[in-house]
Structure 1
Amino acid sequence: MAIHHFHLKAGWEGGRNSEGRISCGKLESKVSIPKSMGGPGAGTNPDEMLLGAAATCFLITLAAMLERSNVTVAPLTLESEALVDVTDNVFTYKEITHRPTIVFTAVESPELEKKVERLAHKAEASCMITRALKGNVEVKAEPIIKWGIE
C-alpha cells in the first residue's frame, strides 16, 4: 500500500470580502469569493477548485480506462458544470455533470459506442474525487460520442 501526501499552504488578507493565495505543488492561485456570491471575484474559489478536481480526476480516469480497453479516440475534451444551491443563506454544492466529447478515429460501431459509454459512466463512478463526494454531491457523466475527426 502506498500513501501519497499533498500539502497546501494558504493565506488570507482580511474579512469575508478579502482575498488570499494558495499554493499546493504546481498549483498557485489567488482565491476569493466569486462576484456571483457577493464577493470580490479576484481569484478562483472553492466551488471552481472542487469542480476542477472532479473534472480532472474524471478525465484522467476515463483516459486510463480507454487505454486499458485498447480503445483509440481523438484527444478527449470535457465540459463540466457544477450547481450550488443557496437557500436561506446556506450554500450547498448539489451536483456536478461531466460532458466528455469522445471522438472515435475508427469506423463507426454500435458495440464500440456502447462500450465507451459504459466506460465513461464507470470512470465517473471510479474517480477518487467522485467517491469522496458520494452521498453529498451528485456526480454524473453525459458522454457525447462522435465518429470521425471533425
Structure 2
Amino acid sequence: MAKHHFHLTARWQGGRNGIGTIDAGNLKSEISIPEEMRGPGVGTNPDEMLIGSAATCYLITLAAMLERAAIPVKELTLETEGVVREERGLKFERITHRPTVILEATATAGHLEQTEAATERAERHCMISNALRGNVELAVEANVSVVKD
C-alpha cells in the first residue's frame, strides 16, 4: 500500500489579526483572517483554502471520469461556493460545486446522460469531499449542454 506525504510550513506574527505565510511546495501564500470575519484580509485564508481544495479535487475527479468514459468535452469550468455560519462560533456549513460542462457537437444523448451522472458521482469519489462528508453539507448543481454549431 502506497502512502503519499504532503508537508506545509507556516509562520505567524501577531495575534488574531496577525499575518502569516504558508509554504507547501507549489502553494505559497500570505495568510490571515478574511475581512468578512473582521480580519486584515491579507493573502488567502482557511475558508478559501478549504473550498479550493474541495473544488480542485472535484474538478480533477470529474475530468478523469469524463476522460475514461470518452466523453467529447469542449469546455469544463467550475464555480464553488462555501458557506460559513457565524453563530456561537464559526461552522463551515456547506460547499456547493457548480460545474459547467459543454460537450462537443458530436456528443450523443448517451454522452449527455453519462456526463450528468458523472457530475454527481465525482463528488462522491473525491478524496477531499469524502474527508469532509458528515461535517460539511456537500452539493452539486451542474449545467451540462452540447455546443451549438
Instruction: Please give the TM-score of this superposition, normalised by the length of structure 2.
Output: 0.95
What residue in structure 1 maps to residue 138 of structure 2?
A: 139
Tell me the equivalent position of 1:14. Answer: 14
Aligned to 2:91: 92
In structure 2, distance between residues paired with 1:108 and 1:7? 42
Pairwise mapping of residues 41-80 of structure 1 onto structure 2 (< 5 A)? 41-80=41-80
Root mean square deviation of aligned Cα: 1.3
Name the amino acid aligned to 1:117.
E
The separation in 1 between residues aligned to 2:137 and 2:145, in whole angstroms, is 26
CA distance in 1, matches of 2:122, 2:113: 14
When residues 142 and 110 of structure 1 are mapped into structure 2, their CA distance, relative to the original with a 3 A threshold, is: same
Give the distance between the partners of 1:61 and 1:27, measured in 2 at CA: 20
Amino acid at match of 2:21: R
TM-score, structure 1 length as denominator?
A: 0.95
Amino acid at match of 1:45: N
Q: Where does residue 119 of structure 2 map in the other structure?
A: 120
Aligned AA (1:51): I
Q: Once the 2 structures are TM-superposed, how far is the Cα of residue 106 of structure 1 from its aligned partner? A: 3.2
Shift of 1:75: 2.9
> Structure 1 regions of 5+ residues with no counterpart?
none
User: Which structure 2 segments of 5+ residues have no match?
Assistant: none
The offset of 1:108, in angstroms, is: 5.5
